[in-house]
Amino acid sequence: MTANVTESLWSVDDVSAYLGIPVKTLYQWKWRGEGPPVRKIGRHLRYAPDQVRAWATQPEAA
């Protein structure tokens, strides 16, 4: 059974462009456990677009 994927996962380049930050920052955030939720698939980092959008719009913690 195949999943119905309406939107494909984003690469680090996609997230970098969306957030306007360097790719290196995304790798640093993953290493530190910060930033938007990320999954490692093989040797590649992949992001769910809806989770990146939700993370980017949440208020900062005080």
Which tokens sit at 25?
A: 């920052």
What is the structure's pLDDT at 1?
Answer: 47
Q: Of residues 1 and 40, which shows the higher confidence score? A: 40
Tell me how far apart the alpha carbons of residues 27 and 35 are, in angstroms, rounded to a whole number.
10
What is the structure's pLDDT at 8?
Answer: 94
What is the structure's pLDDT at 59?
Answer: 85
pLDDT, one tens digit per residue, over 3-59 is: 555 679 999 999 999 999 999 999 999 999 999 999 999 999 999 999 999 999 998
Confidence of residue 61 (pLDDT cuts 50, 70, 90): low
Q: How many CB atoms lie within 10 A of CB 36?
A: 21
